[in-house]
Amino acid sequence: MSTPYWGPDFDALAAFDPDIASVVTDELDRLRSGLQLIASENFTSPAVLAALGSTLSNKYAEGYPGRRYYGGCEVVDRAEEIGIARGKELFGAEHVNLQPHSGASANLAAYGAFMQPGDTLLGMALPHGGHLTHGTKVSFSGKWFNAVQYGVAEKTEHIDYDQVRDLAREHRPKMIVCGGSAIPRLIDFAVFREIADEVGAILMVDAAHFIGLVAGKAIPSPVPYADVVTFTTHKVLRGPRGGAIVCKAEHAKAIDKAAFPMMQGGPLMHAIAAKAVNLKECLQPEYQTYARQVITNAQALTEGLAAEGLRPVAGGTDTHLALLDLRETGVTGKDAEARCDAAGIVLNKNAIPYDPQPASIASGIRVGSPAVTTQGMTESDMKSIASLIGTAIRDEDGSRTAEVAAGVRELVGAHPAYPEPARAV
Ligand code: DSN
């Protein structure tokens, strides 16, 4: 290094702005002191955080490496080139775009590459496990496109592929989207490919939730089947908050033009550098061990919760998350979330397929294992967590909150997140 490193100076922040410094430390305390079971969250590494908190944040670099609209991009170009090469290697992808600011931006760019307003989009309904951006009425995807929605079969709670085929034949969508935010089972990408080919549709896989499991070679990849795969970089993948797109070479130009200049302006070069660091982490053999343990833990947690009387939707999980139907306990998702939260267990209420409750109440909860697995927890810890959740959910009057909180403290004490000692502010 020819220049001394100039990175985040927490003491300077604390001296200048103690209000925000205390937000930073309080949030670290919150992460360390509770069980983080939100299926879409994780603990990113110090190396990723170092790239994120760097002076790369200063650079405007509209365009792509070697083809920018600003001078002085020769250094940041290297970060994007390295990241793209790593993404291609990791996913066996023909083309990679690391510029989307988020998963929603990645999806917006993918739609923009192939569709005009008013075109038909076939996506999975949000209450069945899909995503806001897959055609929900309140999202641009439902407002600007003719969104047709498929779901899961009521009996099996697995994706209803017959319905997908029937709807595709009836509506001849321009794009078919699979993936979502509460799908515990594997998706059959080959069937989606077959349906897309039959009706001449572009197949997009929104792999945000499970791309980390693909990167870790723990589940099959959608890349060989899909025209375009969008994802976020901060879930199981464990990178910085952000989005990315991989696609076939034939769609590269359209995707790049849709990401910039159609949907976004200047890329966040600090985030792109952090994505590159994360992709290097995912190429290490240890990451594959992590990805397999994420699934093992999710399955152990699901079994434990089933033993507590919480019914696993779709009969269990093949991935990092489980959806639990609470109706047999008589407790709503909303109350379950609040009772767990009071004891330091952070999870979210979630609609279950064909939910009789509104989404703001919900009959289910969603749990995920990415963060607790990063902390080094294993199957026996998942059994303990399941038992704590079961106790918390049934604890109508809060009389057992302290007991559950003590159990949480024991677990996180044995497996601390960001284990360095706290700094005094
Ligand atoms: N909101 C994210 C999740 O929690 O799954 C998806 O965008």
pLDDT digits (tens, 9 = 90+) for 158-205: 999 999 999 999 999 999 999 999 999 999 999 999 999 999 999 999
Distance in angstroms (rounded) separating the CA atoms of residues 367 and 344:
14
Distance in angstroms (rounded) separating the CA atoms of residues 357 and 351:
8
Active site residue 62: yes
Q: What is the pLDDT of residue 5?
A: 83
In the Cβ-directed half-sphere of 94, how many Cα atoms lie within 13 Å?
14
To the nearest 10 degrees (0 to 180), the angle between helices 379-394 and 333-342 is: 110
Going by DSSP bridges, is the β-strand pair 35-36/345-346 parallel, antiparallel, or unpaired? parallel
Give the residue among 129, 41, 183 at the shortest CA–CA distance from 351: 129
Secondary structure (DSSP) of 252-314: HHHHHHIIIIII-SS--HHHHHHHHHHHHHHTSHHHHHHHHHHHHHHHHHHHHHHHTTPEEGG
Residue 423 has pLDDT above 60, yes or no: no
Q: What confidence tier does 425 reach under pLDDT thresholds 50, 70, 90?
A: very low
Q: What confidence tier does 424 reach under pLDDT thresholds 50, 70, 90?
A: low
Q: How far is the CA of 40 from the centre of ligand 1 (A)?
A: 6
Residue 421 has pLDDT above 90, yes or no: no
**Which is the closest atom of ligand 1 to the Cα of 182?**
5
Q: Catalytic one among 174, 235, 339, 349?
A: 235
- Count CB-CB contacts under 10 A for residue 206: 29
pLDDT tens by residue, 91-108: 999 999 999 999 999 999
Per DSSP (E only), the strands in 10-90 are 35-36, 63-64, 67-68
Active site residue 241: yes
Give the residue among 116, 123, 169 at the shortest CA–CA distance from 148: 123
Q: Please indicate whether residue 45, judged by its CB atom, sits closer than 6 Å to ligand 1.
A: no
- Count CB-CB contacts under 10 A for residue 278: 28
- Listed in sequence order, the residues at least 6 apart from 52 whose beta carbon sits closer than 8 Å to its beta carbon are 240, 270, 271, 273, 274
Buried b (16+ CB within 10 A) or exposed e, 294-317: bbbbbbbbbbbbbebebbbbbeeb
Q: Please indicate whether residue 40, judged by its CB atom, sits closer than 6 Å to ligand 1.
A: yes
pLDDT (mean) for 363-383: 98
Buried b (16+ CB within 10 A) or exposed e, 74-105: eebbebbebbbebbeebbebebbbbbbbbbbb
Distance in angstroms (rounded) separating the CA atoms of residues 216 and 30:
28
Give the residue among 388, 419, 390, 393 at the shortest CA–CA distance from 405: 388
Distance in angstroms (rounded) separating the CA atoms of residues 149 and 147:
6
Q: What is the pLDDT of residue 7?
A: 84
Q: Please indicate whether residue 181, judged by its CB atom, sits closer than 6 Å to ligand 1.
A: yes
Percent of the chain surpassing pLDDT 70: 98
Q: What is the pLDDT of residue 173?
A: 99
Percent of the chain surpassing pLDDT 90: 96
Active site residue 235: yes
Q: Could you tell me if 348 and 366 are in contact, meaning their C-beta atoms sit under 8 angstroms apart?
A: yes
Q: What confidence tier does 6 reach under pLDDT thresholds 50, 70, 90?
A: confident
pLDDT (mean) for 31-49: 97
Q: What is the pLDDT of residue 8?
A: 86
| Nearest-CA residue for atom 6 of ligand 1 | 181
Q: How far is the CA of 359 from the centre of ligand 1 (A)?
A: 14
Q: Is the peptide bond before 173 cis (omega within 30 degrees of 0)?
A: no
Query: Domains in the chain and their CATH numbers?
Result: 55-282 (3.40.640.10), 286-414 (3.90.1150.10)
Going by DSSP bridges, is the β-strand pair 67-68/63-64 parallel, antiparallel, or unpaired? antiparallel
Q: What is the pLDDT of residue 1?
A: 63
Ligand 1 mutation pick, 38, 101, 177, 181, max ligand atoms within 8 A of CB: 181
Distance in angstroms (rounded) separating the CA atoms of residues 50 and 240:
11
Q: Catalytic one among 62, 89, 194, 308?
A: 62
Q: Please indicate whether residue 370, judged by its CB atom, sits closer than 6 Å to ligand 1.
A: no
Q: How far is the CA of 181 from the centre of ligand 1 (A)?
A: 6
End-to-end CA distance of the chain: 31
- Residue written as tokens 């407790």? 331
Active site residue 89: no
- Residue 35 corresponds to which tokens in the numbers above? 């069980």
Which CA distances in Å does 402 have to 222, 355, 387, 398?
44, 32, 14, 8
Active site residue 165: no
Distance in angstroms (rounded) separating the CA atoms of residues 10 and 8:
6
